[in-house]
Structure 1
Amino acid sequence: MKKTLFLTLLSVALLTACGGSETPTSTTTAASTAAVADNPDRNPTWQTYTVGSQLTYPPFHYQDEKGEPIGFEMELLKAVAKAGEFNITVQHAPRTTLEQTLNDGSIQIWSSTVSISPERTAQMDFSQPFMYSDRDVIYIQDTEANKTITNLTHFKNKKLAVNEFSSSAKETATKLTGSEANVVVTKSYYLSMKELFAGNVDGVLDNGLVLANYTQSNPTAPKTRSILVAEEKKDFAFAVKKGNTEILNKLNKGLEKVKADGTYQKLVEKWFGNEQI
């Protein structure tokens, strides 16, 4: 699985790099995105909901060689849907359309490592959290320049790569390095790691689970170390339109069931191994 993940990740990165900016125009809606997959366990007596996800973020949500949505979060939502007794159709959509598409009804559920925040909670409702993750800075350990790095203060005046997927990473990286000029923004965390291994940056700031998965999937890559950014802990959940208690109740019911029957833990072990969730 990990070899497949790396190859797919490489494909995603190359397609993203060649495809230009994913920033939508003001007229972008979910209708302009393609439905990429239905729930294979579709039940004709259940309600069907459209799920939005930016399918460019392994190992949580991305596309395989056939264009099918895969990843921890995609598999989890399929299991939650079955347990909560509803069908899903997944669409690839930019995360910048999150609030817009929920409000206009073109997407009913967002599943795209959406973190719970006071600002978002004021605009939409969230299921119970299904995972939390810290943000880390990862760097190559066996270099002369990095031997003195033991804490985050040592990244002052160094360069950090972040990917545009995170709305807060650039701000955090600017604070750590002391200047926005020291922050390199890429289109994916794979490209951030590429910048690191090419020696163009001193570290990468990203989701700790994503970085751990990358290093586990690439045992021949240079050895790295990571430092926790303590204040960056985030709870991930599924998002729905404000006040949509019907879908929210189904999501929470499904989450409760898959955690109780062991499905959730099996998916965690499949995608993250021994990482603490």
Structure 2
Amino acid sequence: MDRITVTDVHKTFQLKPGQFVTIDGQPSDSVTVLDGVDLTIRKGEFITLVGPSGSGKSVLLDIIGGLTQATRGTVEIDGKVITKPDPKTGYVFQQYALFPWRTALANIEYALEVRGATKRERTDKARYFLSLFGLSGFEDRFPNQLSGGMQQRVAIARALAADPEVLLMDEPFAALDAQTREILQSELLRIWEKINTTVVFVTHSIDEAIYLADRIVVMTARPGRVKEIIDINLPRPRDGDIRSSTEFNGHRGRVWEALRDEVNKAQKDWALSPAYAA
């Protein structure tokens, strides 16, 4: 069953007055980031988006989440056209985005407060998700008393506590050290396999994309389009040992083959030029 349908999505940004970019040797006061993206995501599927910097991965995520509007085209979740943030959708950003004045428990409770849950319901559910992420005993810690990995666990727990049918994740592990990143990838998969929500996950890491995904969507260099969709037919549940398997290495080679030309194109892409700045 299809959960998310992206149809002919375009996104163009107008630059600030007096600011221009060079495209094909000519100045332009606007930038087309997405150019006709079509994508269908099934219920309960884990999708990763990969592509060179500037390919519009995060912009596409924002459009799916209703945080920004497409210049043209539509996004539907369960047949409903998305024009603003939807209660069915949770979002996890690269930065932890926790309330510094709230404890770990209270940060998770916030997602339930805005939905009118009782105090008992909020506390019970927040404690449950803290336990799922191995954070029992840290309920009363404030964000500045937690490590980066712990803060991101709280941020993910807060998003999941609201029972989202769609979870959008924008490079949530990019700022973490390699060991913590791998631990949280495994934690995320373990919990996702229990709740079966639909996940769309942006990453620059090929290994992360392969380890997590049912399918990898490879984006072209700007303007972003879907270049290829690669099925990841690795067995679940997955553990860290799978990264050294022949099958995993085969997927790594295939994804990089699809990405290589796009990365090279992106390096030659236009850039903001002082020659055209007011």
TM bucket (normalised to shorter chain) is under 0.3
Q: TM-score, normalised by structure 2?
A: 0.23
Flag the structure with larger Rg: 2
Q: TM-score, normalised by structure 1?
A: 0.23
